[in-house]
Amino acid sequence: MLDQTPKEISERKALRINPCKTCQPVGALYAALGVRRCMPHSHGSQGCVSYHRTFLTRHFKEPAVASSSSFTEGASVFGGGANLRSSVKNIFDVYDPDVIAVHTTCLSETIGDDLNSYIMELEIPDDKLVVHCNTPSYVGSHVNGFANMVAGFIRYLADPRAPKNDKIGVFPGFVNPGDIREYKRILDLFELARVILPDQTGIMDGPMTGVYEMFPEGGTTIDEIRSLGGARQALALGAAASTEPALALKSKCKVESSVLPLPIGVEATDNFLMTLSGLSGRPVPKELEEERGRLIDLMLDANPYFYARKCAIFGDPDTVLGITSLCLELGMIPLYVITGTPGESFTESAKELLSRYGALEGAKVKAAADLFELHQWIKNGRVDLLIGTSYGKQIAKAEDIPFVRAGFPILDRYGHSYHPLVGYRGGLLLAERIADAVMDEMDRKCLDEDLEVVM
């Protein structure tokens, strides 16, 4: 399918081929779905929200509800204020959410719609809320849109006058519901009261009941968001996705925060647990110590299949850094590490990580990159394994490379969003997938007389 990708590399600044990201509103929509009884609203054309909903639905295999201002030519010329007024009234009348979370699109940003002014002029029922954030699709990525929407909820709803409480605010990063469930389990083991914003569990991984509910019983409640103003501490997990809401909470409510990498792999999970131990005043629970031991045991048992294997890793910045950390711990060599999200902080963090393991020499790290360039790198220097989203399968097929799916989006397989990448459990699952991919490739290519049943 991509067999004709040229090996010769030419510098491109104004063009992306096979991007390694999608647009800001996708992330904003996903963040809004993590608030209970919230209707995400796309302020733009109907085609935009159709794409955003479809993209999320294909990954989670769950319906992603959202509404639209449904711009026409008239709104494009005269502004979308009238469309937003009609939309908000109809949404509250027909669907009765508790809150509408408005995000912008390319079109509304380009014509300069002032959502602050529009929302101040709206007739909103006394027990309802409208919040917003700006998410121009031609800047950043879905990760930035996610961060902007979470920060929008903080700016509108977090209450600086909220009574001081013993809760920990947790910004989970752009992760799957399976990861958030793992966060909850770990926090419960430390007996820490918490507010996780956003929380898509029960919404984007709900069970089949035979009855459709537009607003399932899941998500962070409005009262919980308000109570963040009195939280004693906040944890921002994943710098790219969670720093912005953490800064918004500190600016509005003077709540201090700690920014940690996504707890993927041994070291990052160790740091996460020691932070929780310090906050709770409790030692790391034995259950988690045993899980760590099982992960280390697998890493040692399968070391011959990890050691010195060259890999290419791509996807969202926080997830890529976490997977890179785990691969280095496994003894692998991350030769190419890229994200489509702009930001030099990613390249600095990745290079620092590679340098600590003596793996920086010969490695290529790049933000705002695309999969066409990654493919060209692979043609010039082959790797043993490709790790990333479903969009890597074409490269894997063209170059006959084992492929491990991890991150967002996974469009061509089932169940990934149910299982964590974070924590020792997540590390165990990912290490197992990597080992399986390497060993399956060995079995596929070896001679019949070399096909072993016991490895």
Whether the CB-CB separation of 425 and 266 falls below 8 Å is answered with no
What band does 361 get if pLDDT is binned at 50, 70 and 90?
very high
Whether the CB-CB separation of 16 and 370 falls below 8 Å is answered with yes
- What residues does 129 pair with on adjacent strands? 99
Whether the CB-CB separation of 79 and 224 falls below 8 Å is answered with no
pLDDT at position 5:
87
Give the whole-angstrom CA distance, residue 66 versus residue 72.
Answer: 18
Residue type, 446: C
Whether the CB-CB separation of 193 and 221 falls below 8 Å is answered with no
Question: In the chain, how many H helices and how many E strands?
Answer: 18, 13
| Residue 396 structure tokens | 């894997």
Contacts with 58 (C-beta within 8 Å, 6 or more apart), sequence order: 409, 411
Mean pLDDT of 384-406: 97
Four-way CATH pick for 168-286: 3.40.50.2300, 3.40.50.1980, 3.40.50.300, 3.30.470.10: 3.40.50.1980
Give the whole-angstrom CA distance, residue 272 versus residue 352.
Answer: 19
What are the pLDDT digits (tens) for 13-35? 888 899 999 999 999 999 999 99
Closest CA to 261 of 249, 251, 269: 269
Q: What is the DSSP letter of 194?
A: E
What band does 55 get if pLDDT is binned at 50, 70 and 90?
very high
What are the pLDDT digits (tens) for 281-301? 999 999 999 999 999 999 999
Q: Rounded to 10 degrees, what is the CA torsion of 63, 64, 69, 71?
A: -80
Mean pLDDT of 385-391: 97
**Res 110 pLDDT > 70:** yes
Q: What angle do the packed helices 266-280 and 177-189 form, to 10 degrees?
A: 40
What are the pLDDT digits (tens) for 236-273? 999 999 999 999 999 999 999 999 999 999 999 999 99
Q: What is the DSSP letter of 420?
A: -
pLDDT at position 449:
82
Distances (CA, A) of 428 to 163, 172, 330, 332, 422: 40, 20, 11, 16, 9
Closest CA to 149 of 117, 103, 106, 91: 103
pLDDT at position 1:
59
Residue 357 buriedness (CB in 10 A; 0-12 / 13-18 / 19+) = middle
pLDDT at position 291:
98
On the question of a cis peptide bond just before residue 409, with omega within 30 degrees of 0, the verdict is yes
Whether the CB-CB separation of 342 and 145 falls below 8 Å is answered with no
In this structure, the number of other CB atoms found within 10 A of the CB of residue 308 comes to: 9
Please report, for the chain, the start and end positions of each structural domain, with discontinuous segments joined by +.
24-157, 168-286, 299-450
- Considering only CA atoms, give the Rg of the chain: 23
Give the whole-angstrom CA distance, residue 274 versus residue 418.
Answer: 26
Q: Do domains 168-286 and 299-450 have the same CATH topology?
A: yes
What are the pLDDT digits (tens) for 409-435? 999 999 999 999 999 999 999 999 999
Tell me what percent of the residues of the chain surpass a pLDDT of 90: 87
Whether the CB-CB separation of 407 and 433 falls below 8 Å is answered with no
Sheet holding 38-43, edge to edge: 67-68, 38-43, 99-104, 129-133
> 131 — phi, psi (to 5°)?
-120, 165
pLDDT at position 140:
94
Contacts with 74 (C-beta within 8 Å, 6 or more apart), sequence order: none
* CA 365, 368, 371, 372 torsion-angle sign: negative
Residue range 24-157 in CATH 3.40.50.10800: no
Whether the CB-CB separation of 54 and 86 falls below 8 Å is answered with no
What are the pLDDT digits (tens) for 163-178? 999 999 999 999 999 9
Give the whole-angstrom CA distance, residue 395 versus residue 375.
Answer: 6
Tokens 């607003």 belong to residue: 215
Residue 67 DSSP SS3? strand
Tokens 């149910």 belong to residue: 418
Contacts with 434 (C-beta within 8 Å, 6 or more apart), sequence order: 306, 327, 330, 332, 385, 387, 404
pLDDT at position 447:
87
CATH class, range 299-450: alpha beta
In this structure, the number of other CB atoms found within 10 A of the CB of residue 341 comes to: 25
Indicate the pTM of the whole model.
Answer: 0.95
Which of 132-136, 253-257, 387-391, 451-455 shows the lowest mean pLDDT across its residues? 451-455
What are the pLDDT digits (tens) for 335-344? 999 999 999 9
53: left (phi over 0), alpha (psi -120 to 50) or beta: alpha
Tell me what percent of the residues of the chain surpass a pLDDT of 70: 100
Whether the CB-CB separation of 312 and 387 falls below 8 Å is answered with yes
